[in-house]
Copies of this chain bind each other. A is one copy, B any other.
Amino acid sequence: MHVEFLGTGAGLPSKNRNVTSIMLHLEQKRNALWMFDCGEATQHQILHTSIKPRKIEKIFITHLHGDHIFGLPGLLSSRSFQGGVEPVTIYGPPGIKAYLETSLTLSRTKLSYPIKIVELSEGVIFEDQQFIISAQKLQHGIECFGFLIEEKDSPGPLLVNKLKEIGIEPGPIYQEFKVNETVDLPNGHTVKSKDYIGVPKPGKRIAVIGDTRAHQAIIPFVQGVDLLIHEATFAADQEKLAHEYYHSTTSQAAAIAREANVKQLILTHISSRFQNEDIELLKKESQQLFHNTTIAYDFYTATID
């Protein structure tokens, strides 16, 4: 799977960075896309990608600031225009329902598909056979959430050579090893399935942290994730401003990545004050604390495999 950054700016759009949106591509795993935040003109950004809006299955909204939600009514409306029929579930802080219902009702937008709106509280917000998703509150002045997307482990492969050693050739019986705890062999013996199944493949774990002050309480939440996406609205030397405006600096985000022992850190929500050379500086100052750091840019894509 991979994540695609559709907007990596802070507060308001600039020519280089649109306001926030991130897409998690799960086409291979479940023929679906999961979106995180939907700033204004996210649907316009999508026009420059291969993304098919009808494949968007879930939309997670970290908080209700305009640069994270003002693209949502338009995106939902265009998905309908383009003939989307599959339902969409939208998770967001309390208020997201009133915002969407008012926008869609007053604009007389009739969607061609059902939407379900889930107003968030902390804890597990979704679980199925493949994934478990949790939400945790951040510190942003307004109610704001971070999301942890955990893919469940895949069962290990059948150890075909080991089965052949005891005389079991490929056939319908192999399926029994996958679904039953024990298997009765044709020779009358009974064996334990797990002795013939390899090590499970661990699921990937991704954390998408919304706007926030540097927040120690998320360290256990994001512990060891394969990818941590964190905001960095300010540079290392702007801690006071960051605190005042409920945002983080590059170094603060990197310190959390290090503390939580994550595998990879991507910083986003980058102010348009920072231009080319500044971006190199932002990168360096975060890499001093956590080496595997990238500063996202619009349409940047990272693979997690």
Contacts and interface: CB of A to CB of B under 8 A. Distances in A.
Interface in A90-149: 95, 98-99, 102-103, 106-109, 141-142
A240 interface: no
B107 A71 contact: no
Nearest to A16: B47
A11 B74 CA distance: 10
Contact of A98 (B44, B66, B102, B142): B102
Interface string A267-297: 0000000000000000000000000000000
A158 interface: no
Contacts of A141: 108
B107 A40 contact: no
Contact of A78 (B12, B44, B78): B12
A41 interface: yes
A87 interface: no
A18 B108 CA distance: 20
Contact of A106 (B18, B44, B95): B95
Give the most central of A70, A98, A142: most B CB within 10 Å: A70
B81 A74 contact: no
A142 to B, nearest CB: 5
Contact of A107 (B69, B81, B109): B69
Given A99-B102, A107-B64, A13 B70 contact: no
Contacts of A40: 40-41, 43-44, 70-71, 74
A15 interface: yes
B15 A47 contact: yes
A108 B14 CA distance: 21
A65 interface: yes
A13 to B, nearest CB: 5
A193 interface: no
Given A12-B74, A44-B44, A108-B141, 4 more contacts: A12-B78, A14-B47, A40-B70, A41-B44
17 contacts: A12-B43, A12-B78, A12-B82, A13-B47, A15-B48, A40-B44, A40-B70, A40-B71, A44-B44, A64-B107, A65-B108, A66-B73, A70-B70, A70-B74, A70-B103, A70-B107, A98-B102
Interface of A: 11-15, 18, 40-41, 43-44, 47-48, 64-67, 69-71, 73-74, 77-78, 81-82, 95, 98-99, 102-103, 106-109, 141-142
